[in-house]
Amino acid sequence: MNTSSFALFGARPAFEKSLPIGQLYFPSWARYEAAFRGVFERQYYTNQGPLTQQLEEKLQQFLGVRHAICVTNATIGLMMVPDAMGLTGKVILPAYTFIASAQSLSWAGLEPVFCDIDPDTHQIALDRIGALIGEGVSAIMGVNLWGGACDPKALADLSDAHGVQLYFDSAHAFGCAVDGVRIGNFGRAEVFSFHATKILSATEGGCICTNDDELAARLRNIRSSYGAGKPVNVVKTANGRMSEAQAAIALMSLEDFPANRKNNEALYRRYEAQLQAIPGLQMIRPTGVSFSNYQYVVCGVDEREFGLPRDMLIAILQAENVIARRYFYPGLHRCIPYAQELPQYLDRLPDTDSVCASCIQLPVGAPVSAQGVDRICDILMRAHQASAGIRARYAA
Ligand code: T4K
């Protein structure tokens, strides 16, 4: 097959404007203006203002959780939780996640213990955790990836059996449910991200959820004295406050969640129907949930069957202005500082390494139309069909 139809080799890109990874759902300018008019009229811009309070109440109702504690972003939420839970020593987490999951432990003075993942679901490998629970481990941090879940009930059984605490990085899982129970209700605490690339967006933002009143009181005090409610003794305090501007956007985004989630699902199904016809591309379905936000479209690329290595496929797509990415790369055990400080994990996480080397994330969310999905799938099919020629031209 001819390779000259690809932008990488000089053809016009399939898309004029870049199609990024990321949800990027934003309200209309009119709604945005109305919400911001209120903020400016009140002249109250941050420090647990009325919109932040309203957002916390609405999140509690939506998630069915006792406490939703809004914060500036998920990273700071993850940094606050270990102190509030009184964690010490080491915390087990998967090596296949965003760097913030591990960095939050470093900020809290804790050592990460990296666990391998299940290559089919990309979630933490439950059967490898037991062997890692040893001297000094005080908790497991589950990470709910890709709009799926890492089996929070099995993790609860495991942590109970070993007498360690459990909490979750649920940055990817807003609105998802496990057996009808919304994520946000598992473990001692769960942290959501409201970054612009997430389905619930405050541009930057996040929230910590817990059903534990004491823990919530500590978290509210750590966040800052504003919105602390009952003052309790905490060793460290931070500034994790969400501004009124962030809360205004998040409130609109929460209102739009059902429609945005429905749009994601339609795009996901359209990808699914077409990708199954392309050899060597394996969609990672959001497993372990009864309800997904379909926030990500993630595929494994089998180089032998597809005909091209993952990174060559990314180069093809990016030249077409489809900003496909290799998430996450490399695994946390290969990132600074962990590769140097904890070299014992370098040869112990084969499934993480193989997923990092073969996984690709495709655009979904507001920037993508149904026709856009069709064109992306067409590029993928053509890339497979022309793989021998592409490899030869790429090498030349
Ligand atoms: N835990 C997990 C498992 C996470 O995935 C994350 C964050 C966290 C914890 C921490 O949550 P936060 O502290 O961020 O609330 C992005 C996001 O910044 C980050 O929120 C996200 N996960 C991570 C997986 O991805 P980058 O550096 O890869 O994003 P960036 O800027 O390259 O954006 C992705 C694409 O979207 C690009 O093609 C550009 C496009 N984009 C992005 C933004 C922000 C736009 O077109 N417009 C925009 O406004 O980290």
The model's pLDDT over 165-200, given as tens digits with 9 standing for 90+, comes to 999 999 999 999 999 999 999 999 999 999 999 999
Q: In this structure, which residue's CA is closest to atom 38 in ligand 1? A: 20
Closest ligand 1 atom to residue 325 Cα is 38
Q: In this structure, which residue's CA is closest to atom 20 in ligand 1? A: 195
Q: Which residues line ligand 1 (CB under 6 A)?
A: 20-22, 24, 73-75, 97-98, 100-101, 143, 169, 171-172, 193, 195-197, 206, 323
First-to-last alpha carbon distance for the chain, in angstroms, is 17
pLDDT at res. 230 = 85
CA 197 to ligand 1 centroid distance, Å: 5
Q: In this structure, which residue's CA is closest to atom 28 in ligand 1? A: 327
CA 388 to ligand 1 centroid distance, Å: 34
Cα separations in angstroms, 182 against 64, 289, 380: 7, 9, 35
Pocket test for ligand 1, best of 81, 103, 193 (most atoms within 8 A of CB): 193
CA 28 to ligand 1 centroid distance, Å: 22
pLDDT at res. 201 = 98
pLDDT at res. 186 = 98
* Range 150-156, long-range pairs (CB < 8 A, 24+ positions): 150/94, 150/123, 150/124, 150/126, 150/288, 151/123, 151/126, 151/288, 152/178, 152/183, 152/186, 152/187, 153/178, 153/179, 153/186, 154/126, 155/124, 155/126, 155/129, 155/186, 155/187, 156/186, 156/187
The reported pTM is 0.97
Q: Give dist(CA 268, CA 257) in Å, integer.
A: 16
pLDDT at res. 30 = 96
pLDDT at res. 111 = 98
pLDDT at res. 395 = 80
CA 196 to ligand 1 centroid distance, Å: 7
CA 195 to ligand 1 centroid distance, Å: 7
Q: Block means of pLDDT (10 residues each) for the chain, length 396 residues?
A: 91 96 94 96 97 98 98 98 98 98 98 98 97 96 98 98 98 98 98 98 98 98 92 92 98 98 98 98 97 97 98 98 95 98 98 98 97 98 97 86
